[in-house]
Structure 1
């Protein structure tokens, strides 16, 4: 089942969502790449940082969402193309191929890594980051509620993100002949406002679920999920703490 994305909702927590991208970018030691690609670029706000770091490079944003690419097309310094990252082909060898918080939406994405690694120029780098928090209440509570009546009958084929640990990505990229660095980080995002964890997941992981439900079930589901998340993530008076584990890997093709 397909779903659409809302760039404004996604960017509501833009600073927090940018942190892993910035950390991944900081560990890519490429000095003067000619072609840089952001796979699953979303609205292109972070892709712009690639153009800022490598101003002489051709920087391309790729995303399957027409809403996101329409936003990315307005970002100065980059090009944008709507395409499914499972089938997209680069115009030539890529020096930096980056995928930030996108591969978790691709079922069996480890099988995609050989194709992506094959796009690299000699000395090129494949850099990826995926969430590693799918056992946390922010996801588990949504899955539990989605399995209950009357919601379950509408949610049989929704998109469900998943990922692997850092050691799995390290081994998979090493098997492709790449030199690999892999690690993980848990961020403690302090969120503010009414039901901030619900607002966070409403822009990403919970979006396919909510869109698949008919009205008025969608609103009933949202009310119940808000209540469960509020209990799981209480406000201390200084904000709501959302622990968010992220998995990183960078593979370099020898050249």
Structure 2
């Protein structure tokens, strides 16, 4: 069984602008939360360094917001930068939790997840539990990368599977491909009697600097490999050299930078106020 990757908040935040844009697009499609004349209760699953969690307080200034994450490094960064009373009089805190096993401990008005559920095997099986944990009229909203067949990821998996690296790295480059296609997400959520909006977008991100695609994946897809090779700097350097060469060929630098297409899948599911079909009396 693989150990969890070690995350580097500073590396992740090097491309914060591009990483934040899909969350802003997701946020724009979330309707008003239930109005019970009380502050909204919000959970952010896989909050990472907390930079997008803090954006929730701008949309719902009085909300009580909790970010959940498995990474001690990410939680430490999030707590240091963002925890405490928000300018609108709300509250923001961060707690350790595994999204695969997290169960709402109270009714939430919004459960949101930004580019995290791809790391959670069988996360669609969590949907019923999370929807149950929403207040009537509450919302589950998430976005996940949909680029696992892109060269950045395909080449990583192929490199890990070469004779030189197979014994050391195995499936580290492939093991976190746990997303569904948009239509499957729509069906899963609609079956839970949710008003569901699902869509996809491919962002043509223009990255700058030397080897920018390598720098990007160092913050995400490459973390399992870097974690596995952390005790062997020579091997890590050799792997990165091979992967860098492959990425340079797949993503050539142009006049204005390097174009890095990135597909994202979005879902917003609003819990209806009627009793779900599965629970109606027969």
- Asked whether the two chains share a fold, i.e. TM above 0.5, the reply is yes
SS in 2 for 1:150: helix
SS in 2 for 1:49: helix
Q: Distance in 2 between matches of 1:10 and 1:215?
A: 20
Alignment match, 1:243: 261
Q: Distance in 1 between matches of 2:66 and 2:194?
A: 23
For 1:215, which of 233, 238, 245 is the aligned residue? 233
Q: Distance in 2 between matches of 1:79 and 1:26?
A: 23
For 1:109, which of 119, 123, 129 is the aligned residue? 123
Alignment match, 1:142: 156
Q: Distance in 2 between matches of 1:73 and 1:91?
A: 21
Task: Say whether residues 1:168 and 2:184 are aligned partners.
Answer: yes
For 2:103, which of 81, 84, 89 is the aligned residue? 89
- Change in CA separation of 1:245 and 1:157 when aligned onto 2, cut-off 3 Å: closer
| Native 8 Å contact 1:234 1:240 kept in 2 | yes
- Pairs aligned (count): 255
SS in 1 for 2:267: strand
Alignment match, 1:182: 198
For 2:43, which of 30, 34, 37 is the aligned residue? 37
Task: Say whether residues 1:49 and 2:47 are aligned partners.
Answer: no
**Structure 1 residue 252: deviation in Å?**
0.7
Residue-by-residue CA offset, 1:78-107 (whole Å, 9 max, x unaligned) = 110011112223331010100110110011
**Structure 1 residue 221: deviation in Å?**
0.7
Gaps of 5+ in 1: none
**Structure 1 residue 227: deviation in Å?**
0.7
**Structure 1 residue 12: deviation in Å?**
0.3
For 1:196, which of 199, 205, 212 is the aligned residue? 212
TM-score of the superposition, structure 2-length normalised?
0.87
**Structure 1 residue 119: deviation in Å?**
1.1
| Native 8 Å contact 2:42 2:109 kept in 1 | yes
Task: Say whether residues 1:13 and 2:29 are aligned partners.
Answer: no
Find the structure with the greater CA-based Rg: 2
Q: Distance in 1 between matches of 2:181 and 2:187?
A: 10
Residue-by-residue CA offset, 1:44-100 (whole Å, 9 max, x unaligned) = 011000011101110111111010011111204311001111222333101010011
Gaps of 5+ in 2: 87-91, 274-282
**Structure 1 residue 160: deviation in Å?**
2.3
Note the aligned Cα RMSD (angstroms). Answer: 1.3
Q: Which runs of 4+ in 1 moved over 6 A?
A: none
Task: Say whether residues 1:60 and 2:58 are aligned partners.
Answer: no
